[in-house]
Structures are given as structure tokens and as C-alpha cells.
Amino acid sequence: MPGVETAAVALNADVGARHESEIENGLAHLFEHMVFKGTRSRSARAIAEAIEDVGGSLNAWTSRDSTVFHARILGADLPLAVELVGELVMDPRFDEDDLVKEREVVLSEIGEALETPDDLVFDNLQTVAFPGQALGRPILGTAASLAGLDRAALLRWRDDKYRGPGLVLAAAGQVDHDRLVGQAQALFGTIPHEARAVTEPAQWGGGLLPDGKHGEQLHVALAFSGPDALAPGYYAAQLFATALGGGMSSRLFQELREERGLAYSVSASHSPHSDIGVLSLYFASRPKDGPAALALLRDVAQATARTLDKAELARAKAQIKAGILMGLEGCGGQSDWLGRSILTFGRILPPAEAVAAIEAATLDDVRRIGIEMLASAPALAAVGPGADRLAA
């Protein structure tokens, strides 16, 4: 990126919580935590000091489909950031005493999530949408599953799951490409090239999961099956979700909040996993308003699928295009785009190609995919007083 003084680098792995067995639940996330506890050449403190001595940052995150280790740094110090990212994954210490302490940290994180109803409702939504599957289990795991995860499990996870075909090292900003490739070969050249075992295909469920124990406000999330990122209807699904609940001008925001005053928070989104998508509709309301808000939510969604107009579609296209292009103006956004597109499409997807696909979606395309998604079995999760009074 000419004229940029900084750089971002990330190791993107196509492995996450959905690749765990039931007894391994939480292992992908625990692995991400434990690599920061020290390597065979650096302690946890030494890792933190190494990146912060040069003004950089180093972090990671785990989702159901992937894990990403990323760093932001001044361009001249990019080799250090690459070295640290590589060291975390390739040479972790996994000390037993550190593991005992880090389990407690993750248990605190689980406790926080359980006390955050607007997060909990989406975990519960995954559970009811994908019953009995890794895709439906919480990313953080549970107290019971964490208790059974030891050093051997962490090493086995790295050796079994972190394999060449599913890893992408991506960097953007002030980058010397040839030097980056050479460093990557030195750091990651011993990673096995064989692909890992095929992931169990997602099976959409549906139904209701009420939880009335939390808080004073009612949080409700309703989901339907949608297309994955490689499916022909993917961009149409993104446009439908944006028009339905992607901003203050969306139908859900205007109807539930502005016109009826039934909810403070209201939104819709379409999120792709590797082999299926999830259309999620969400609102938070007073318990007494929950049934009316849910009924209106359903009505507005169905009406949008039938009557979406050209102006709404044009607005949704502008929102999504702006989100893509604005995100690509920074090094982190560029690096993330590179890593995600190679793992998803097997190539670097030019932003112009994504924009062209968005522009090509017609009103009929978007209405059709909306009708198709809303025809799938609904998955409903509700957290807070009155949750058990709602019907799927």
C-alpha cells in the first residue's frame, strides 16, 4: 500500500470451534489463548514486551469456522511481527501450570458471556439452529469440557488441524513481498501439506430455546437457513438482510422502533459459515412487548421479501459497497480481506469483483432469496423475562 508507514499481518487458519468433537468443546479457543502464555524461547511477558517495545499490537480471535492470529506494527518492524506470529503457532510451550491458570481465565470469560444476554441469545440461537452439532456448541466451551482439556489435547489440535492447505499468511501495508515469503518458508515450512479431515456438513434444525433467568429486558433472535459464501444467492442474501435490518432506514428499525416503539435495539444480518448461511433477526424489548414485537418482526420480514422496492435495494447496495471499500482503506482490513478470500474462494477476490456481484443482483433475485430463506424452519432463541411466552 504505497505511502503507508504501517503494516498488518495475520495467520488465518480454517479451523475453529465447529471442528471439535463434543469432548473437545472449547479447545480451539483455549489453544488460541494458550499460545500467548509463552513459547520455548519467550515467556508471555517477553512476547508482550517484544511487540509493544516497537509500538505494535498482537492478538487473536476464534470463530466457529476459523482462528486468526494478527499483528499491527510499523512497516520497518514487520519481520518481528511475522516472527512472533509464527512462534506462537509453531513453538508454543503449553506449560501445565499456565494451563491451570488459563482455564480459570476462560471460565471467567464464560461467566461474563452468560451474564451478557445480547451475546448469550446468539449462542443459544446457534444451539437451536444446529442441534447436536459442533456448529451449535459455544465457542468458549463449558466448565465440564474445559476440565478435560490437557497439554496433549492442545498439541494434538495443532498437529491435526494446522495444516498447509488450510493456512494463509497475509500481510498488507509497507510490505516487502519477497522477504515475507522467505520468512514464511523458514517459519512454516515444516507444516504438513496434507489436508485435515473433512468437516461434518451442517444440518439445519429449528425450534425454540427460551431462557428466562437473565436480566430485566427480553432479547430475542430469530434465524433462518441461508446460502454460504460460495452459493449463487450469497450477495442477494446480504442485500436482503441489509434492507430488512441493516441500518436506521431499514424496515425493521423503522417499524419496530420508530413507528411502534416496541424495541430499542433491532437488527438483521446474514452470516455465512463454510457450508451454510444464517439469516438472523434480533430485537431487545420490554418483556410485555415481546410477543407483539416478535409478531411484527415476522410480518415485516415476510412483507420485505414480497415488496422490497428499487430504492431500498439501491440503498442496501450502497451500504454494503461502502462497508467493503471503507474497510479496505486500512492495513488491517486489507490483510483480513486477503486471508479470508483465499480461504473462502481459493484465490484473492478482487474487491471490484465483489462490488460487481452486488451491483448485478436484481430486485427479483433479492426478493426470491428472501422468500427462500424465510421458508426454512425457524430457529428462535429468547433470553430474559417472558422468554417462555414466545412461540417458534
Question: pLDDT digit string (tens) for 227-244?
Answer: 999 999 999 999 999 999
Average pLDDT of the segment spanning 216-221: 95
Buried residues in 177-198 as b, exposed as e (16+ CB within 10 A): eeebeebbeebbeebeeeeeee
Tracing cell 433470553 back to the chain, one arrives at 383
Whether pLDDT at 219 is above 80: yes
Helices assigned H by DSSP within the chain: 27-34, 44-52, 78-90, 96-114, 117-129, 143-147, 151-161, 177-188, 234-245, 251-252, 290-307, 310-327, 331-345, 351-360, 363-374
β partners of residue 168: 12
Q: Confirm if 26 and 141 have CB atoms less than 8 A apart.
A: yes
Residues 6+ apart with CB under 8 A from 379: 125, 128, 129, 204, 205, 206, 207, 222, 223, 224, 392
Whether pLDDT at 125 is above 90: yes
The amino acid present at 123, given as its one-letter code, is D
Predicted pLDDT at 290: 96
The amino acid present at 221, given as its one-letter code, is A
Give the cell for residue 143: 466448565
How many Å apart are CA 356 and CA 195, to the nearest integer? 32
Average pLDDT of the segment spanning 25-40: 97
Predicted pLDDT at 12: 98
Predicted pLDDT at 199: 85
Q: Which residues are catalytic?
A: 32
- 292 falls in which pLDDT band (50, 70, 90)? very high
- 97 falls in which pLDDT band (50, 70, 90)? very high
Predicted pLDDT at 242: 98
Whether pLDDT at 216 is above 90: no
Buried residues in 83-113 as b, exposed as e (16+ CB within 10 A): ebbbbbbbebbbbeebbeebbeebbeebeee
DSSP 252: H
Q: Confirm if 30 and 154 have CB atoms less than 8 A apart.
A: yes
Predicted pLDDT at 233: 97
Predicted pLDDT at 196: 84
Q: Is the pTM for the entire model greater than 0.75?
A: yes
How many Å apart are CA 392 and CA 376, to the nearest integer? 12
CA 355 to centroid of chain Cα atoms: 21
Which of 159, 369, 344, 356 minimizes the C-alpha distance to 270?
Answer: 369
Residue 172 main-chain phi, psi, to 5 deg: -150, 155
**DSSP 3-state of 88:** helix
Residue 332 CB: number of other CB atoms within 10 A? 20
Chain segment 110-121, per-residue pLDDT in tens: 999 999 999 999
DSSP3 helix / strand / coil % (the chain, rounded to 5): 55, 20, 30
Residue 356 main-chain phi, psi, to 5 deg: -65, -40
Predicted pLDDT at 392: 67
How many Å apart are CA 9 and CA 3, to the nearest integer? 17
Q: What mean pLDDT, rounded, does the chain reach?
A: 96
Whether pLDDT at 215 is above 80: no
Chain segment 294-336, per-residue pLDDT in tens: 999 999 999 999 999 999 999 999 999 999 999 999 999 999 9
Average pLDDT of the segment spanning 21-50: 97
Could you give the domains of the chain? 6-188 (3.30.830.10), 207-389 (3.30.830.10)
How many Å apart are CA 124 and CA 376, to the nearest integer? 18
